[in-house]
Structure 1
């Protein structure tokens, strides 16, 4: 075998080795990335896969893009006065649920959107982008916001005569949305990055959820 042929053979083998290594690396990265995304997003990972009709690769591309766009976001501190105002407004909304569930749900949706904007997430005028950013940093609670937003939109339709028969949220759906949304509200209100305040808030939310029973339904 000539020297030239030997060199060509070595080059070909080297190229093949590099190509195989690259394929294996990408395969490991996909597996590791998928596991990492599943750990990071928890239930939001499964929801995204379902939204992509079971296409895991498409779902992971979606979630990966969210992390790229919003992963470096740093929340802004919440001033004491604003904290008191948001707390008071949520209390009023929750108490209002007894008499006016639809108004309460609409106010809860508005409150979370405003609070997220104050904390540094995309503002309330960009719901989808705000939701994506929240899913990166509050993946275990963001679905509560999604549900309360959907319920608020449904109440608008019901007020114009759509009613629950045509997709309007019923009282039980609205109650569940309020309870789940409260967990995200508490997480956004939390001062400490370690989540201590958020855990306390979730306990409080569970304790107060019993108050979200409309009049006339206590014995239903």
Structure 2
């Protein structure tokens, strides 16, 4: 089994989402011995933001028609999508920045969204091509958003990640939330305790390519 561990927080050692992903990976590898772990830190190795040069995922018949910038951007996209497709389990650390995910994480996702690789258009609409994977999203939030309709309407972090991975055909999406981490010491401690309990459940759940989506 291959696990891809991804962090995207810019807060280094002070990051809650980084702590969560490390705990998830540690728990997962303890429960699934022999798991091969690959690591990607998007705050350090950030793909360029999506551009016209990065649009040509499928190489033309002759590389001569490509500019140097296009070749470079295509190579980055190919490396990232191949790494993603090779993984059975993807653990993603995603803090909430201004109601959404970090731009570094969005840049990575933009490189994955390739027709013919992670999805295709069929007669009945979109068909996801990355089926059979498990995604565990570790979400950190300074405030609390999940307990009210107004809060849920404001966050485009969990909702976006579920949508895009569902678009890729992934149905086993597991969510760990640490909310209220900036609302005082007691709130932060409670958030981490709740997240820790969730990790123990989600990381010990059997790997099942056909599993339905879980949100804890």
Q: What TM-score, normalized by structure 1, do the two folds share?
A: 0.26
Q: Which has the higher contact order (CA 8 A, sep 6+)?
A: 2
Structure with higher helix content: 1
Quick check: which one's strand share is greater?
2
Which of the pair has more CA radius of gyration? 1
